Amino acid sequence: MPASCIFLTRSVSDVLHPAAIIFAMSLSTSVSFMTTYYNVVMIFANEYNEYMIFSYGISRKDRISMEIRHLRYFLAVAREENMTRAAEILHVSQPTLSKTLKILEDELGKKLFTRRSFSIELTEEGMLLRDRAEDLVEMADKIEQEFLSLDDITGGDLYLGLAESYQIRYLARELGRLKAVYPSMNYHITSGDTEQVTEKLDKGLLDFAVICEPPDEHKYDYIEFPETDIWGAVMPEDHPLAARESVTVDDLAGQSLFCSEQSWNYEIAEWAGDRKQDLHLEGSFRLSYNGSLFAREGLGLLLTFRNLVSCYPGSGLVFRPLEPMQETHLFLIWSRFQTFTPLAEKFLAQIRRSAN
């Protein structure tokens, strides 16, 4: 009989969470997806950290076992779109690589690639596996680094997902102080909006995230940044509205506007109220710098935070705050039931000391 599996989880919805699957993979190098009944022990923690143990059945009829190594091979081929180049990068023979891909296709019962004369294209099933495999491999690498860092008192790896804000300088300052004490530490930064970074945080791919909206207190603990970000419009210095000290909804009505989709639906909608219908979103950008290039070319005005785009004299751009003033609060968040690495614990302790 196969060895029992133990998943550490907070709710039934987390039973097949990628982090739980990867935990099994990190111990045995392979993971099984099962479809007839098999007893699994589960440990639940409530908000008071009281633990309850349950066991229930999962099926194990059609068992699929795939190795992390196979997923790495698959991702290399998907990235290169060429079997020969992927084999060279992986330092394996082409027959070995072809055999691995055939094993994956046989296990999943799906065709993952469409093979052409000089290239390979992913099928729809292949694209689905690529998206899932990227998360699984990233999680496996993170787990490996976390266990290596347990014995490294001078460093380790820290993973952060950050929204765009001038206040990130506070975080950079704290990372610099931590680096001075633990010189072997490394930090890995992912940029994105709230939806992007919280998705990675929920999957266990990040230790911390910085978001621009009030966090869900049922899921996250948090520390609020000391300042707020001020909204405004970035425009060419010769734009007619550049002569104003601030801009109103009336000023922006009829203008072509650029903004992140998230902010357009929340902060700008809150600011404009029932006048939002008078505003025209010309295009959406996740990164303000890219939007500023379009604004510089006169294609529209960029709605963003103060200090995210260089608007110094001679830059060709100016920033004009919204009137009435619109502010956004910034939050450093982490999962309420997070198990931190030693380095992540040290980082959070330092942030808390600075915040106090």
Closest CA to 58 of 41, 73, 80, 75: 41
* pTM of the complete model: 0.61
Q: What is the mean pLDDT of residues 154-175?
A: 91
Instruction: Please tell me the distance from the alpha carbon of residue 60 to that of residue 98, in angstroms, as a whole number.
Output: 28
Instruction: Please tell me the distance from the alpha carbon of residue 137 to that of residue 205, in angstroms, as a whole number.
Output: 10
Structural contact between residues 263 and 230, judged by C-beta atoms closer than 8 angstroms: no
What integer pLDDT is reported at residue 202 of this predicted model?
92
Instruction: Please tell me the distance from the alpha carbon of residue 74 to that of residue 276, in angstroms, as a whole number.
Output: 46
Judged on CB neighbours under 10 Å (0-12, 13-18, 19+), 141 is middle
pLDDT in tens, 259-308: 999 899 999 999 999 999 999 999 999 889 999 999 999 999 999 999 99
Q: Do domains 66-136 and 154-221+330-355 have the same CATH topology?
A: no
Closest CA to 162 of 187, 186, 191, 188: 191
pLDDT in tens, 175-192: 999 999 888 899 999 998
157 phi, psi to nearest 5 deg:
-120, 140
What integer pLDDT is reported at residue 149 of this predicted model?
59
Structural contact between residues 311 and 234, judged by C-beta atoms closer than 8 angstroms: yes
Domain boundaries defined on the chain: 6-62, 66-136, 154-221+330-355, 227-329
Q: What is the mean pLDDT of the chain?
A: 81
| Domain 154-221+330-355 top-level CATH class | alpha beta
CA quadruple 150, 154, 157, 159: dihedral sign? positive
Percent of all residues in the chain with a pLDDT value above 70, rounded to a whole number: 78
Which CATH superfamily includes the segment(s) 227-329?
Periplasmic binding protein-like II (3.40.190.10)
Per CATH, the number for 66-136 is: 1.10.10.10
Q: Does the pLDDT of residue 16 top 60, yes or no?
A: no
